[in-house]
Structure 1
């Protein structure tokens, strides 16, 4: 059976990234890992390649050096049920060296980009009242982390 799996190139820190993802998401599982031999210099015993899943999405990762850093051109889109989920994922992914971006985007400490998006944003932007939906979009454009209450206020404004 043919499958498609995102493959992430890490400078270093794949194992630490997976451990962080385990603290942020409820469903992280390592399916396979290939480690360098213990006697292999500075990096002996460290993970070279790992296949893991986050909330059911399989991902491959490899520690391979700084030649190809991550960019925002590729991101994981996390659809959140409510503000509590947004806060949990946002805070967990930017902790200890991550960076906030705009409009619900962030980069974790390893440079992987994530979009942490509440369901309310999609629902309000799709509303048939185009003026209200446009106010929501304008509010979102001024945010870093998406705040559901501010989206709802923008939607209800006249």
Structure 2
């Protein structure tokens, strides 16, 4: 794996716990190095770094990670796993995990549905009322 550019996530003493948590959720994931200050890990083959930098900075919605999902089962898996143990649901496929990181759990069919001029408005109305995406409800809009 050769990610020259990758995110560094600033934690307040929870970098190792976060890396372990994420590696249980995403396939093709592993911790590649770990010490008390920095942990590097891969999620679905993509490199991340967790830094135990202290309480100075907090995560917010200005940065989020998007997870494209082909099936409802994938959406359910990521949604339920990432909101477990203190995560928070939000609207339109957004959530925060228990560490405060924002995620968007998005069906891959959504852009296609929104590009159909006969369905786009109704699809948008339906998804604006959702927290976790429901693919069947979107397709039936």
- TM-score range (shorter-chain normalised) is over 0.9
TM-score of the superposition, structure 1-length normalised?
0.83
RMSD: 1.5
On the 8 A contact 2:23/2:31 being kept in 1, the answer is no
1:23 maps to 2:10: no
**Structure 1 residues without counterparts, runs of 5 or longer:** 36-47
TM-score of the superposition, structure 2-length normalised?
0.92
Which consecutive aligned stretches of 4+ in structure 1 deviate over 2 angstroms post-superposition?
A: none
2:34 match? 33
Q: Deviations over 1:106-129 (max 9, x none)?
A: 0000001110001121221123xx
1:147 maps to 2:134: yes
1:133 maps to 2:120: yes
On the 8 A contact 2:16/2:34 being kept in 1, the answer is no
Q: Shift in Å at residue 24 of structure 1?
A: 1.2
Alignment size in residue pairs: 140
Pairing 1:31-110 to 2, within 5 Å after superposition = 31-35=32-36, 48-110=37-99
On the 8 A contact 2:16/2:50 being kept in 1, the answer is no
**Structure 2 residues without counterparts, runs of 5 or longer:** none
Bigger radius of gyration: 1
Q: Deviations over 1:64-99 (max 9, x none)?
A: 222110001101100001100000000000000000
